[in-house]
Chains A and B, each alone.
Chain A
Amino acid sequence: MSLLEIQDLTVALHQDGTETDLVRGISYTIEPGETLALVGESGSGKSVSSLAVMGLLAKSLNVTSGSVTFDGQDLLSLSKEEMRKIRGRDISMVFQEPMTSLNPVRSIGSQIIESIEENLNLTRAQAQSRALDLLKEVGVADPERRLKQYPHHFSGGMRQRVMIAIALAADPKLIIADEPTTALDVTIQAQILDLMARVCRDHGTAMVLITHNLGIVARYADRVNVMYGGRIVETGRARDIYTAPRHPYTDGLLRSIPRLDQDRNAPLRPIPGNPADPFTTISGCRFHPRCDHAQAPCRDMVPNFKNGLACHFPLEVAQKEALS
């Protein structure tokens, strides 16, 4: 049984009496211990779909159809109170900005201990010692002293380590990490991603890694969902997506980034136009206005998602070679 199974999830924004779909019927599964990356640009629905899984959607957003099954349990049918118990204990989240996700007026220790006591039946002393162990595990030096300090005493990278310690507090089965290193420097980013990969491996924790960085995807994810305009357009093993993309959007993304493993003079081939605006009506495939391969059916029919791909005219390997 999959750890998480999402079926046909649709999330809509209600604003000024109109309803706009931000996530348009996505389905995917994640297996225990697996790292799945969600890749996409602004407005692709990668963050909103994950907030829906966590039951953390803003008031103006709601799930209009679909199901989210976690460990055999239908999350969407749970009460707020029941969902709150799942969050933190079974599923936890790491956000992009560690400064805004920590309480600035409470010590780091009290915030870690809160999340331990909330989810595990431990005495205060046991919770204290677990907090120490967690800080050590995420590589915070001098943890006894650090527990008494406040978020502003910590650098960005250190705060993100604390967030990971809090996320690990109850030994969850799934961590959803939304751009966990986007705000960090490159050398610190590598430290944090290696740390996350290590703790997931050691604890058998599954991870949904939301990112726009294709290098991170290639390096740290087992599988990838490429999202565009609220839909998953391609899914597959990280290696296959990176070396032999079949969807023209995935291919376009890969051609848009300068890469250190390529000739520096290799021209970038950007995707023309702008990412699909959720508020604009686009018929058929939402990528068709920007797609070099679009033909008549792309304008009229939404491509079905099958065999890990939603495209009327997927790229053939031979065709790709001819193009490059």
Chain B
Amino acid sequence: MSALLRIEDVSVHFPIRKGLLQRQVGAVRAVDSVTLELKKGEAFGLVGESGCGKTTLARAVLRLVDPTSGSIWFDGTNISGLTPKGLAPFRKRIAAIFQDPFSSLNPRQKSGQIIAEVLQVHNYDGDIKERVAELLSICGLAPRFADLYPHEMSGGQRQRVGIARALALDPELIVCDEAVSALDVSIQAQIINLLEELRVKFGLTYLFIGHDLSVVRHLCDRIAVMYLGRIMETGTAEELFDNPKHPYTKALIDAVPAPNFDNEDAPQAEALKGEIPSPLAPPSGCVFHTRCPIAFDRCSKVVPDITRLGKTHAAACFALSNSEAPS
């Protein structure tokens, strides 16, 4: 399998300007030197807490923000340097599904118009009405839904319209930003199953951004864990969840509330202490060292490189190679 998307050493920094001359006084390092590769047909998950840069990275892939440095390659072309005109053909091939289907759908348009608009903008040459009906049916909605406004539909139905819109131009890559987070539990499962079905049916590649670890584990073949703009660990779902190596990955997994009926008084595995530091002034060295239970001297001074642990497994932590570290 070849790489469909390659994110190469991408950083996204937002300048902070102050004063009359709007001089730059600092930068929010939302994404810092991230390298990732998505193979054709795989579902790749990005997990992390608020401010970790997962959404910014997704927006960079969609070219909604421009990377400060680094390049983004889609199917062999560097799309980070393209002009809007040069980018146009790639806009068809990369689609997006957002978290809140209520704010990502125009409230004054019927769902049929919402989907048709995408087709019109890209000069679709078939019968638009037919295509809209087909897309709705692919997403499990009867044709009559084309005549409904977003407020006339439930949250799950709106998300189905959002998915139908994303599928309109037969994309190859879909960026799903918290696509199931706002939905009720029973509906969330319907949408997860729909996304899985569509991936197989159309050979889609997903970049799936989420904060719910169990959802990402279920849906994604490979996963990257981000913290304060940096990748902490990448691996297959099995590697990350059965054999996490980075202390942050371990802490994230331990923080998921799970039943503990046999020993009800035992606290949930030691919750990670402290707060997520501000990305305005990220800690020196390893960004996680201020909350890390096993941090040692070097962690606050040097940024750890991503170390290969296996064919697909890699992590950025000194404890994995350093003998002075507790294991």
- Measured CB to CB, the residues of A under 8 A from B are 41-42, 155, 157-158, 185-191, 193-194, 197, 212-216, 218-220, 238-239, 242-243, 252-253, 255-261, 264, 267-272, 274-275, 290
Q: Which of A155, A193, A261, A275 contacts B268 (CB 8 A)?
A: A193
Q: Which of A239, A253, A260 contacts B217 (CB 8 A)?
A: A260
Q: Which of A212, A218, A270, A290 contacts B258 (CB 8 A)?
A: A218
* Contact present for A268 and B193 (CB under 8 Å): yes
Closest approach, in angstroms, between the C-beta of A106 and any C-beta of chain B?
23
* Contact present for A264 and B275 (CB under 8 Å): no
Interface string of B52-93 (1 = CB under 8 A from A): 000000000000000000000000000000000000000000
* Contact present for A258 and B257 (CB under 8 Å): no
- Measured CB to CB, the residues of B under 8 A from A are 49-50, 154-157, 184-190, 192-193, 211, 213-215, 217-219, 237-238, 241, 251-261, 267-268, 271-273, 275-276
* Contact present for B271 and A194 (CB under 8 Å): yes
* Contact present for A268 and B268 (CB under 8 Å): no
Q: Which of A186, A239, A256, A274 contacts B189 (CB 8 A)?
A: A256
Q: Chain A residues near B253 (CB, 8 Å)?
A: 260
* Contact present for B255 and A187 (CB under 8 Å): yes
Closest approach, in angstroms, between the C-beta of B71 and any C-beta of chain A?
31
28 contacts between A and B (CB under 8 A): A41-B187, A158-B275, A185-B211, A186-B211, A186-B213, A186-B252, A187-B271, A188-B275, A188-B276, A191-B273, A197-B267, A213-B257, A214-B185, A215-B259, A218-B261, A219-B257, A219-B268, A242-B261, A258-B214, A258-B219, A260-B213, A261-B258, A264-B217, A264-B237, A268-B192, A270-B190, A275-B154, A275-B186
A-B CB pair tally, cutoff 8 Å: 134
Q: Chain A residues near B211 (CB, 8 Å)?
A: 185-186
Q: Chain A residues near B238 (CB, 8 Å)?
A: 264
Closest approach, in angstroms, between the C-beta of A94 and any C-beta of chain B?
17
Q: Chain B residues near A214 (CB, 8 Å)?
A: 185
A contact face: mostly helix, strand, loop, or mixed = helix
A259 to B155, CA, bound (A): 23
Write the chain A residue with the least CB distance to B218: A258
B contact face: mostly helix, strand, loop, or mixed = helix
A264 to B189, CA, bound (A): 14
Write the chain A residue with the least CB distance to B216: A258
Name the residue in B217, B257, B271, B272 with the highest tally of chain A Cβ atoms < 10 Å from its Cβ.
B257
A258 to B189, CA, bound (A): 8
Q: Chain A residues near B185 (CB, 8 Å)?
A: 41, 212, 214, 253, 256-257
* Contact present for B258 and A215 (CB under 8 Å): yes
A95 to B155, CA, bound (A): 23
A158 to B156, CA, bound (A): 33
A260 to B212, CA, bound (A): 11
Name the residue in B157, B251, B259 with the highest tally of chain A Cβ atoms < 10 Å from its Cβ.
B259
* Contact present for A187 and B241 (CB under 8 Å): no
A272 to B196, CA, bound (A): 17
A253 to B186, CA, bound (A): 6
| Given A41-B185, A242-B259, A253-B186; A190-B192 close (CB under 8 Å) | no
* Contact present for A191 and B190 (CB under 8 Å): no
Q: Chain B residues near A188 (CB, 8 Å)?
A: 49, 275-276
Write the chain B residue with the least CB distance to A193: B257
Q: Chain A residues near B154 (CB, 8 Å)?
A: 274-275
Name the residue in A187, A256, A270 with the highest tally of chain B Cβ atoms < 10 Å from its Cβ.
A187
